[in-house]
Copies of this chain bind each other. A is one copy, B any other.
Amino acid sequence: MEFWFTEDQSKDLRIGCRILETIHSETTPFQKLAVINTAQFGRMLVLDNVIQTTVKDEFVYHEMIAHVALNTHPNPKKVLIIGGGDGGVVREVVKHTGVEKVVHVEIDGRVIEVSKKYLPEISCALDNPRVEVIIDDGIKHVQEYKDTYDVIIIDSTDPVGPAVGLFSAEFYRSVSEALTQDGLFVAQTESPFYNEELITRIQKDVADIFPVTSLYLACVPTYPGGLWSFTIGSKIYDPQKADTTRFSELATRYYSPVVHKASFVLPPFVQNLLK
């Protein structure tokens, strides 16, 4: 007998993964949560039937959302991560030895607990002494802090249900206020093949608030279409002009200083979304 996990990536597109073992499954106060061992990608975190991360390909997303932003800032000391309860972004952020404090705000504590237990390769830095984990609503958190963070990383789920507010202009204004005077934020902003209107709207909203707005790309195999976008809003520093000679030496598999620069080179069809 074969067992398969199927994600509806849209009403017209599905991805299916052969299951070796269902390791964990529960319904939290916020969402359905599962960890599955798949034949293709190894252990996989699934929220509300959507693949969040897998042991095999998580390095692409986590490295690319963390290091582009952190290396753009010349001296990030205090970093806020919203979402990403699996701990993958935390793991990448603590690779930057200059970062003194990482505040990790995740709305669903069960994601953190389950990731600690079943995804140790990803969650391994959650107990790092520089990391403070807060179980709370990220939107509320940024509203409460002013002029506090050098870099804010928004590692949200898709813009449906609880994560919708993390894609709003109002939220980006709170993020701007929670950032220091030379701060910057990065957010995952979905697929340029499937979420064209969202990307166009976010780019406009962020550009209304931040002097520097940039979109960059990476290819994540388990996300719909592979090609994935990230948006940076920055008060001063331009990620495309960052001086790569001062970048930290990092143990990475997808990110590198040249990949940093190349990720901002957009195909014309993506460039057109930003006009």
Interface residues of A (CB under 8 A from B): 4, 6, 10-18, 38-40, 56-57, 59-60, 193, 217, 219-221, 223-227, 252-256, 258-259, 261-262, 265-269
B residues less than 8 Å from A59 (CB atoms): 269
A256-B268, A259-B266 provided; 4 other pairs, C-beta below 8 A? A11-B39, A12-B38, A219-B227, A220-B226
Bound complex: CA A256 to CA B265 (Å): 10
Evaluate contact between A11 and B15: CB separation under 8 angstroms.
no
Bound complex: CA A225 to CA B41 (Å): 11
Counting chain B CB atoms within 10 Å of each CB, the highest count among A10, A16, A193, A267 belongs to: A267
Q: Tell me which of B38, B221, B268 contacts A254 (CB under 8 A).
A: B268
Bound complex: CA A259 to CA B40 (Å): 30
Known interface pairs A226-B225, A227-B221, A268-B256. Does A39 touch B12 (Cβ–Cβ under 8 Å)? Answer: yes
- Can you pick out 30 interface pairs between chain A and chain B where the beta carbons lie within 8 Å of each other? A4-B14, A6-B16, A10-B40, A11-B18, A12-B39, A13-B15, A14-B15, A14-B16, A16-B16, A56-B193, A57-B225, A60-B267, A193-B221, A217-B219, A219-B219, A219-B226, A220-B226, A221-B224, A221-B227, A223-B226, A226-B226, A253-B267, A253-B269, A254-B269, A256-B267, A256-B268, A259-B267, A259-B268, A261-B265, A262-B265
